[in-house]
A and B are shown apart, each in its own frame.
Chain A
């Protein structure tokens, strides 16, 4: 299952959107206000849910605001962060440092 579909599934389960199906959620629908109709309290839950299910932390407003626009933007953010984590494992510099020790 790709990130967008998994995200939709998680949102339906965790944010009590049981009256919706994954197919009914458009990838580009606004998450807040019109669109999915989520509010500020859902935003808190969403930050928790993203960390719990995807291991990605939304640290602040700078990161959060563009990421939390739609399913597409949030999925892109998650994928980028997950790739970033993979890339971080030992850089040439850190390997060299370890070897020196």
Chain B
């Protein structure tokens, strides 16, 4: 059953876009601050900018509320604002860190990887590997820390025209460390993903949001309500024998990140495409993600309403 606020949100579904809330000059302002005073100066400015957004941007509050109202269901009035402030502040810090890595070099941050040996073992199975991340922490950190696998990495992602926050490699002017598979391309990029996995390569996908023309979702419990997660990756895993490696990153210090292998999901050979077939695997992912949210309540940056059955069409 939907709440009145959800009904209202459903009406707005088609308007949803992942484009940056801030304007271009605001991003440039922060890049300049990083160049002049490093990460600390940028953080200092961020406290005020986030305060402004939380107080005066309804859009920012609304986007944060999908998650926060489920993660902190008992929060009232000022508590809600405080949670919103902390969440957006953490997100801002991640965006700054991403720029710092590009502008000042990767040595600006320490990255600790848990699960290196297991990842190497999975790689050596030669069935390819589906790295399933989520919009938590800073997934770009993970991508920059996977060199040791010595396999090409393909990332299913879409850089929207309105996205003005740059990736760390764009700041650094270096070659992108992964190849992009466009989910709006031919057959949603599935053939490219299959091809890469068959060659023992790595495909990275987001397990918590639909991309491109994919409309295959399955309802699973997430933070006490039914959320709709994509299941195409599990179908691909079933077809190729590739393990689904769930990994999350978290910012565990002012200048450090932790990359953690949270779970390995094995999908046996399964025929058909019903959501029921793949629900158990999506539920495994959801449980891992919920565990992450309990541990790191302010590092979940999926501002998309994943509890909405009618999935929004992302603006072209």
Which positions in A face B, CB cutoff 8 Å? 14, 16, 32, 39-45, 47-48, 57-61, 64-65, 68
Query: Chain A contacts of B199 at CB under 8 A?
Result: 60
Are B271 and A40 neighbours in the complex by a CB distance under 8 Å?
no
Are A64 and B273 neighbours in the complex by a CB distance under 8 Å?
no
Nearest to B232 among chain A residues (CB) is: A41
Q: Which label, helix, strand, loop or mixed, suits the secondary structure of the B interface? A: helix
> B186, B187, B189, B216 — which one has the most chain A CB atoms within 10 A of its CB?
B187
Query: Chain A contacts of B232 at CB under 8 A?
Result: 40-41, 44
The distance in angstroms between the C-alpha atoms of A48 and B270, with both chains bound, is 10
Stretch in B141-149, B190-198, B245-253, B298-306 touching the partner: B190-198
- Provide a sorted-by-A list of 19 A–B residue pairs whose CB atoms are within 8 angstroms: A39-B187, A39-B213, A41-B190, A41-B216, A41-B235, A41-B273, A42-B273, A44-B190, A44-B236, A45-B239, A47-B194, A47-B239, A48-B239, A58-B194, A59-B195, A60-B192, A60-B195, A61-B186, A64-B191
Query: Chain A contacts of B239 at CB under 8 A?
Result: 44-45, 47-48
List of 5 A-B pairs having minimum Cβ-Cβ separation, nearest first: A60-B195, A40-B188, A64-B191, A40-B187, A40-B190
Are B216 and A44 neighbours in the complex by a CB distance under 8 Å?
no
Query: Chain B contacts of A64 at CB under 8 A?
Result: 191, 194-195
Nearest to B196 among chain A residues (CB) is: A60
**Mask of B180-210 contacts with A, CB within 8 angstroms, 1/0:** 0000001111111011001100000000000
The distance in angstroms between the C-alpha atoms of A58 and B186, with both chains bound, is 15
The answer to whether B272 has its CB under 8 Å from any CB of chain A is: yes
Are B213 and A61 neighbours in the complex by a CB distance under 8 Å?
no
Size of interface on B: residues with Cβ below 8 Å to A:
22
Shortest Cβ gap from B268 to chain A (Å): 13
Q: Decide yes or no: A59 and B198 within 8 Å by CB, A44-B235, A48-B239 being known contacts.
A: yes
Are A65 and B271 neighbours in the complex by a CB distance under 8 Å?
no
Q: Decide yes or no: A43 and B272 within 8 Å by CB, A59-B195, A60-B195 being known contacts.
A: no
Number of A-B contacts (CB under 8 A): 64
> A39, A40, A41 — which one has the most chain B CB atoms within 10 A of its CB?
A40
The answer to whether B214 has its CB under 8 Å from any CB of chain A is: yes
Query: Chain A contacts of B271 at CB under 8 A?
Result: 14, 45, 48
Query: Chain A contacts of B213 at CB under 8 A?
Result: 39-40
Are A43 and B216 neighbours in the complex by a CB distance under 8 Å?
no
The distance in angstroms between the C-alpha atoms of A46 and B239, with both chains bound, is 10
Query: Chain B contacts of A32 at CB under 8 A?
Result: 187
Nearest to A14 among chain B residues (CB) is: B271
The distance in angstroms between the C-alpha atoms of A47 and B197, with both chains bound, is 13
The residue from A16, A59, A60 contacting B272, defined by CB atoms under 8 A apart = A16
Nearest to A45 among chain B residues (CB) is: B273
The distance in angstroms between the C-alpha atoms of A41 and B188, with both chains bound, is 9
Query: Chain B contacts of A14 at CB under 8 A?
Result: 271
Shortest Cβ gap from B281 to chain A (Å): 14
Are A61 and B235 neighbours in the complex by a CB distance under 8 Å?
no
Query: Chain B contacts of A40 at CB under 8 A?
Result: 187-190, 213-214, 232
Shortest Cβ gap from B234 to chain A (Å): 10
Query: Chain A contacts of B194 at CB under 8 A?
Result: 44, 47, 58, 60, 64
Are B235 and A65 neighbours in the complex by a CB distance under 8 Å?
no
Shortest Cβ gap from B218 to chain A (Å): 12
Query: Chain A contacts of B272 at CB under 8 A?
Result: 16, 45
The distance in angstroms between the C-alpha atoms of A58 and B192, with both chains bound, is 11
Shortest Cβ gap from A17 to chain B (Å): 12
The distance in angstroms between the C-alpha atoms of A64 and B239, with both chains bound, is 15
Nearest to B215 among chain A residues (CB) is: A39
Shortest Cβ gap from A12 to chain B (Å): 14
The distance in angstroms between the C-alpha atoms of A57 and B197, with both chains bound, is 13
